[in-house]
Amino acid sequence: MTKQFPTWKYTEKELWEIKMKKNEMGPEQRVAFEKEEEEADEIGSLRYRKATATYNEHFQGMVKTAKGTNGKLLPLLNPMWIRHHFHEKFVAIVVAYGRDSNSWIDVPLGSSRGGKDPEPPSTSVVQGLRCKYQQEDNETCLFFSFASALFYLGLKEDSERVRKAGHQMEHLDADTQLTFLRGLMVQSNKFERNPIVWSGKKTKYFDVFECTSDNPTILIPLGADKGIHHAIATVGNYIFDSTHEEALHLTKDSLDWCCNTKHGFEGVYLAIRFVLKPVKKEYRMYV
């Protein structure tokens, strides 16, 4: 595998050129580059292994299964390859944990799209319904998609707080991002304290097309490539995906597009539903 301890090393200039000039590569270079990008997208969590008498320092990757459990182990990942494909802020967290722990650290949520990625099917787009916050080249899909759902519900103050948190939490591990977002919702007086969570084996009880709700719901879709790097939000039968300026209908075609992989949507890796408190009716007493 080319990523396991190669003899070459990218310079900073080369790393920048690869990112900025991908579309100028020749056919063979482009295929090789995109294959490595796909390999990185499959990784659901990382851990760092210190140098020993037997091995140089390296990383290990884990590809998640549809049930959210650990699946395929990638045992020897070159630090240079990791630093090329993952943000330095996240890599630093993985290394810090790895010095004293064997824990797996989930990759950040936040996939953005390239400029030449296809538009969603025209039948998927909800004409006239904006997805308020666009992540553009930032990796803030969890926060911007959910903030857009809150804005749609008229919760403008909460939506703005979530949007601002997106920049603060960008590139941190997924567990930290999700925990922080849940904390923001606890602080709001609009939601019940405990959200409904479908994760791991519980996701088999969550049918994304049947289990709809007017309560805003975070979804981490599982792509057919096993990628779990993107997050969207739903309200009723609408999808808010911060990589597109308009909301989408909740259909298989839309979810295929959201997953941004050749074979589309396979299932739900995680769903978190934040339940709105009932609106209290005011009664007036007449005497």
The answer to whether residue 275 scores a pLDDT higher than 60 is: yes
Cα distances from 114 to residues 21, 161, 244, 272, in angstroms, run 12, 27, 12, 27
Mapped onto helix, strand or coil, the DSSP state of residue 233 is strand
Residue 158: in which H helix or E strand, if any?
A: helix 156-169
17-32, pLDDT tens digit by residue?
Answer: 655 655 666 666 666 5
Work out the number of other CB atoms within 10 angstroms of the CB of residue 59.
24
pLDDT tens per residue across span 235-247: 999 999 999 999 9
Q: Class assignment of domain 122-273?
A: alpha beta
Domain segments of the chain as ranges: 12-106, 122-273
pLDDT of 255 strictly over 90: yes
Give percent above pLDDT 70 in the chain: 78
Using the 8-state DSSP alphabet, how is residue 204 labeled?
G
Residue-level pLDDT at 70: 65
Residue with tokens 């590809």: 63
The pTM score is: 0.72
Residue 36 or residue 195, greater confidence: 195
Using CA atoms, how far apart are residues 228 and 170, in angstroms rounded to an integer?
Answer: 16
Which of 58-72, 91-105, 136-150 ranks highest by mean pLDDT? 136-150
Cα separation, 264 vs 53, in Å, equals: 43
| 215 vs 38, higher pLDDT | 215
